Homo-oligomer: A and B are copies of this chain.
């Protein structure tokens, strides 16, 4: 039995009190992973951005809004866990300046400087990883496999799930599960439940090796 930390859903990065940047992540992949992990007898903590789905009652759920909030929750929880599955789609750009008042329109273009938010999986792996295993997700529209392998190395992940934008807010997914040496462990197409079962099956090897 392992203590598994799962990030799930989108995060938001505000321009002002009303407008924000985000993506359509539904949290369904994280939900399916939590269900599969609980079913396999593991303890599950989910750190989730704003979603309209429900997580299993047996999981501990921490709700956050922004990428920084998700990062802080993960950094706090990760050391006491055996592994992390980064299924969230955190908003990865934030406005350099956030307005405390709603920006009033004046008919002119609004020049916005966006800077990258902290990479949650990479930061947790680089700063807090000891015995833990880390499974990352890569969502790309081009060169999916190549970019997923580059991301796996950069983020110090032990396994990577590569998928495309069709995964977002969908009931199904089409993923390639990549081992740390870049080989393909599985190519799975189906409901997010089916995909979650395959990811958890591949993760069991990491659990056995690292626990």
Contact = CB atoms under 8 A, between A and B. Distances in A.
Interface of A: 12, 15-24, 50, 52, 89, 91-93, 96, 101-102, 104-105, 107, 109-116, 139-142, 147, 165, 168
Counting every copy of the chain, the complex holds 2
Contacts of A24: 12, 20, 50
A205 to B, nearest CB: 30
B93 A139 contact: no
A115 B109 contact: yes
Nearest to A114: B110
Instruction: Decide if the interface of chain A is mainly helix, strand, loop or mixed.
Output: loop
B92 A109 contact: no
A139 B21 contact: no
Contacts of A111: 111-114
